[in-house]
Amino acid sequence: MTHIRIAKKTPSGLSLDVDFSLARGVTALYGPAGGGKSLLLESVAGFVQPDSGRILLDDAILFDAAARVAVPPRRRAIGYVFQSLALVPHMTLERNIAFAAHRWPRLERHRRVAEMLERFELSEVAGLLPARASAAQKLRCAVARALIGEPKLLLLEDAGADEPLLARIREGFQNPMLLVTGDLDLCAAAGELILLEAGRIVERGPARVLLDRPQSVEAVRLLGIPNLFEGTIAALDPGRNSSRLDFGAFSLSGPYLPGHFRGDRVSVAIRPDALRVHAGKAAAGENFVAAALIRVSERARWVRMEFSGGIFADLSREEYLRQKDNQEWRIEFPSESLLVL
């Protein structure tokens, strides 16, 4: 079992306090800058001593504040990829990798280094100093250096790893991996997702589930879902599995909400890509809300439309081109996509 429970206060006022288990596969760590992601990784690696808690890696105790155990970093069997990569500038890429393999005898070391160079497509640039290699080559070198020691856990800071690189790491590495990233698409590729803000875990769970159905207002905000409305429950009908939610300017019907009462205040979120946009006069139906278009901003692959009442809808470009000449707008809130928090 790999379990991390640590608390640490920093002079800058951040108070890290986390408790979670790591499963095999990739766990993504997502959160705003200064939220304690790097501090968490540094504590696990042993560069920083937590104030209290316990770190278990594969049932081996790496740190236990109560028992005053703190295994030094070099004995932790952890691979670490720094955001700055931290390659040794006076060593070639090959020697950087070999440096981390010195516990093996000479021949074995050569074989392993050659294997790593091959696997990360570095054979041709093995003799370059880091300053002369490209950013992508340096990143692959840093990853190879972290992996060559056969770590039980790989920690990746946000160094620009992309999905193909992750896939390449996963080919020969089955142990847990903790990946800091600011890229939600990369989070979706991970198995588990942890949302970290101000040193606390806001929410964690299977990445797909968490991205689709976050359970708290903080998580919704962290994931950048702009549609967040405060309302009250106007009606609840368990028989027809429905509820009526009133937001002042408009009201919506949603699924029955067990554990809630009529009159409860709730927050409701909906992902902008789940909203459907219709031309004003033609359409009417359940959960249609009339709104005025305020702004349109073009994105790489879609178009974000901002409507009155703080409603944001993301449309594909084709859909947008089809609808852009509408005089009036109605926004459909599919009730199955409503996230009642």
| Touching other proteins, residues 40-69 (CB under 8 A) | 45-47
User: With respect to other proteins, which residue has the nearer C-beta, 88 or 235?
Assistant: 88
Q: Output 99 or 247, the one with its CB closest to other proteins.
A: 99
Query: CA–CA separation, 127 vs 305, rounded Å?
Result: 51
Sign of the four-CA dihedral 149, 155, 157, 161: positive
CA distance 108 to 251: 69
* Residue in the structure block whose two tokens are 């992902």: 271
Identify the residue among 21, 32, 71, 73 touching other proteins (CB under 8 A): 73
When asked if residue 88 is in the footprint of other proteins (CB under 8 A), the reply is yes
322 part of the interface to other proteins, by CB under 8 A = no
Tokens 């588990």 belong to 192
- Sheet bearing 69-70, strands edge to edge: 69-70, 60-64, 52-57, 2-9, 15-22, 200-206, 192-197, 26-30, 177-180, 153-156, 78-81
Figure out which of the listed residues 99, 173, 288, 302 binds other proteins, where binding follows CB under 8 A. 99
Out of 18, 22, 29, 78, name the contact with other proteins by CB under 8 A.
78
Stretch that binds other proteins, among 142-150, 243-251, 300-308, 321-329 (CB under 8 A): 142-150
d(CA 173, CA 150): 8
Tokens of 254: 């949603």
CB of 172 to other proteins, least distance (A): 18
Binding residue count for other proteins, defined by CB under 8 A: 25
Residue whose entry in the numeric block shows the structure tokens 């280094």: 113
Q: Which is nearer to other proteins, 63 or 80 (CB)?
A: 80
**Binding interface with other proteins (CB under 8 A):** 45-47, 72-76, 78-80, 82, 84, 86-90, 99-100, 102-103, 145-146, 149
